[in-house]
């Protein structure tokens, strides 16, 4: 007996014990959804086709176009209605060509590096330059004091302060520092990425946007970065040879979100979004970030339609692009549907690695606490599902939060997602198919249960209330730092 079949029996048992008190919760429909998802799972097939069939899918790339075509065909085959693209525009597209770095002195060592996305290139043939440290905990002060000494140097960001900057504060300060380094004619920058090591460099854009930064900026495997810092601290002269080549488009490039609906039979104008992001980084195949989420969302849609259950309200399957550049696709969706936001009940998004779903953070919408805790009790056969007023910031659900709509990014127990995401380790072999199918089933149940309530759940905040709640919940400082306030 597989673990998933056992889970189905357990879920059915919980439903049976609760039947007398939960007749209005559509338990028969939820059980049919679970059965369809577990007995006829397709999520693993979707993930294999996406990750190993198409591979990495950087926003604005030809591979992203292929992924959109594949997803449209898949959504139509599942039976979603009104499958269509909703275009939005990227300022520039960016493509990785090559990155190589070698420690030249005090000894020879090949270094593991990866270019930051939307960052520049070295001259053809590369550069050879001395490395100097910059205190990443006081980037702006260091730029004011020492920029005149940076010309022709490779700048190594190293935290020196007694109180290190948090990851969000660090990345919020990085764009201005890169601009200062470029103005000072520094040769390149080695950033200080907070993610774990094991010789894996990671990638991301320098800012929460698709702005291009002309200076070469790389992430280096944590072990190599620490080695160079130690050599400098011992007074050694450190010299690096670096050849970084990237391509940037001459002008704007079109991207698009992909939408398909399961129409509601009673209130079709009221919408529950169930989404994930189709784009990925290009060091791995994007199986985890966010191929897992895409496959789970498509698997959920397949389970709902194949089971024959009909929701009262419309469940909208949304595959966003541009998430990795700063939720660009989901923010474009919100702008494009601004007049309809009052009819969006909530937005559910799956984008937190390859682990089992463990929570539904309310992101300020505490009016949902009671009904969603009730839902968590109903599906307790899957395991504990935590419902609290926490935030999963800077995923696609957050774009809806900023528009006043309840944006719920599913929490997952993905212990190694910070190591594997955005790196060469983001590949299909890390995914447990049973966990994927379980998450698809639970996502289907959550979306359907919310869509099928006799009375609409939740509240869409107006702009004033959104500001009040985000300020109260200490979200404003990070939003201001990343240029998302006001919104």
356 assigned to some structural domain: yes
Q: What is the pLDDT of the chain when averaged over all its residues?
A: 92
Examine the domain organization and report whether 81 and 99 are in the same domain: no
Examine the domain organization and report whether 442 and 293 are in the same domain: yes
pLDDT tens digits along 112-143? 999 999 999 999 999 999 999 998 888 878 77
Q: Tokens standing for 164?
A: 């290190």
What pLDDT is stored for residue 23 in this prediction? Answer: 42
Using alpha carbons, select from 87, 96, 93 the residue that is nearest to residue 56. Answer: 96
Task: State residue 37 phi and psi, 5-degree precision.
Answer: -65, -35
Distance CA 483, CA 471 (A): 15
Answer whether the bond into residue 402 is a cis peptide, omega within 30°. no
For the chain, the maximum distance between any two Cα atoms, rounded to a whole number of angstroms, is: 76
Q: Domain count of the chain?
A: 2
pLDDT tens digits along 39-56? 989 999 999 999 999 999
The residues near 76 (Cβ < 8 Å, ≥ 6 apart) are 83, 260
What pLDDT is stored for residue 442 in this prediction? Answer: 97
Using alpha carbons, select from 377, 246, 366, 261 the residue that is nearest to residue 319. Answer: 261
CA dihedral 64, 51, 360, 16 (to 10 degrees): 130
CATH number at residue 207: 3.50.30.30
Distance CA 37, CA 31 (A): 10
Identify the band that residue 418 occupies on the pLDDT scale cut at 50, 70 and 90. confident
Average pLDDT rounded to a whole number, residues 92-105 = 97
Identify the band that residue 272 occupies on the pLDDT scale cut at 50, 70 and 90. very high
Examine the domain organization and report whether 339 and 393 are in the same domain: yes
Average pLDDT rounded to a whole number, residues 98-110 = 97
Using alpha carbons, select from 368, 401, 413 the residue that is nearest to residue 387. Answer: 368
Examine the domain organization and report whether 214 and 327 are in the same domain: no
State the first-to-last Cα distance of the chain, in angstroms, to the nearest integer. Answer: 51
Examine the domain organization and report whether 434 and 287 are in the same domain: yes
pLDDT at residue 144 is higher than 90: no
Classify burial at 230, counting beta carbons within 10 Å of its beta carbon; exposed 0-12, middle 13-18, buried 19 or more. exposed
Helix (H, G, I), strand (E, B) or coil at 145: helix
Per the listing, tokens 């199918």 go with 437
What pLDDT is stored for residue 20 in this prediction? Answer: 33
Domain carrying residue 114: 94-248
Using alpha carbons, select from 337, 139, 159 the residue that is nearest to residue 233. Answer: 159
Distance CA 484, CA 133 (A): 31
Strand 357-361: give its sheet, edge to edge: 386-388, 357-361, 411-412
- Percent share of the chain, pLDDT over 70: 94
- The angle at the Cα of 62, spanning 394 to 426, to the nearest 5 degrees, equals 50
């Amino acid at each position: 007996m597989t673990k998933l079949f056992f889970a189905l029996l357990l879920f059915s048992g919980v439903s049976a014990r609760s039947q007398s008190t939960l007749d209005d919760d559509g338990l028969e429909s939820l059980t049919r959804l679970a059965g369809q998802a577990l007995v006829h799972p397709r999520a693993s097939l979707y993930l294999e086709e996406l990750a190993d069939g198409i591979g990495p899918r950087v926003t604005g790339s030809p591979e992203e176009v292929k992924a959109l075509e594949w997803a449209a065909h898949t959504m139509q085959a599942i039976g979603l209605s009104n499958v269509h693209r909703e275009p939005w525009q990227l300022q520039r597209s960016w493509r990785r060509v090559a990155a190589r770095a070698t420690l030249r002195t005090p000894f020879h060592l090949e270094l593991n590096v990866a270019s930051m996305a939307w960052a520049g290139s070295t001259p053809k043939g590369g550069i050879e330059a001395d490395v100097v440290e910059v205190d990443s905990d006081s980037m702006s002060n260091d730029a004011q004091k020492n920029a005149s000494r940076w010309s022709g140097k490779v700048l190594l960001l190293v935290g020196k302060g007694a109180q290190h900057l948090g990851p969000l504060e660090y990345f919020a300060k990085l764009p201005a520092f890169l601009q200062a380094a470029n103005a000072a004619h520094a040769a390149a920058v080695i950033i200080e990425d907070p993610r774990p090591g094991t010789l894996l460099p990671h990638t991301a854009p320098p800012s929460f946007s698709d702005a291009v930064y002309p200076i070469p900026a790389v992430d280096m495997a944590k072990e190599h970065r620490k080695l160079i810092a130690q050599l400098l601290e011992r007074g050694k002269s450190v010299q690096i040879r670096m050849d970084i080549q990237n391509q940037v488009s001459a002008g704007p490039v079109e991207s698009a979100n992909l939408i398909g609906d399961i129409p509601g039979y009673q209130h079709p104008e009221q919408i529950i979004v169930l989404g994930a992001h189709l784009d990925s980084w290009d060091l791995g195949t994007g199986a985890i970030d966010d191929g897992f989420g895409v496959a789970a969302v498509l698997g959920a849609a397949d389970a709902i339609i194949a089971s024959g259950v009909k929701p009262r309200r419309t469940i909208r399957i949304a595959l966003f692009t541009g998430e990795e550049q700063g939720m660009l696709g989901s923010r474009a969706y919100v702008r494009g549907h601004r007049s309809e936001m009052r009819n969006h009940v909530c937005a559910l998004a799956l984008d937190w690695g390859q682990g089992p779903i463990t929570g539904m953070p309310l992101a300020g919408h505490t009016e949902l606490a009671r009904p969603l805790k009730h839902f968590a009790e109903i599906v307790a056969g899957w395991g504990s599902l935590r419902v609290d007023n926490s935030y999963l910031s800077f995923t696609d659900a957050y774009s809806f939060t900023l528009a006043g709509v309840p944006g719920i990014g599913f929490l997952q127990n993905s212990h190694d997602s910070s190591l594997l995401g955005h790196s060469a380790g983001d590949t299909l072999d890390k995914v447990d198919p049973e966990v994927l199918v379980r998450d698809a089933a639970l996502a289907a149940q959550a979306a359907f249960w919310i869509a099928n309530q006799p009375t609409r759940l939740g509240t869409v905040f107006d702009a004033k209330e959104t500001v009040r709640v985000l300020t109260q919940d200490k979200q404003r400082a990070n939003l201001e730092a990343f240029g998302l306030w006001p919104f």
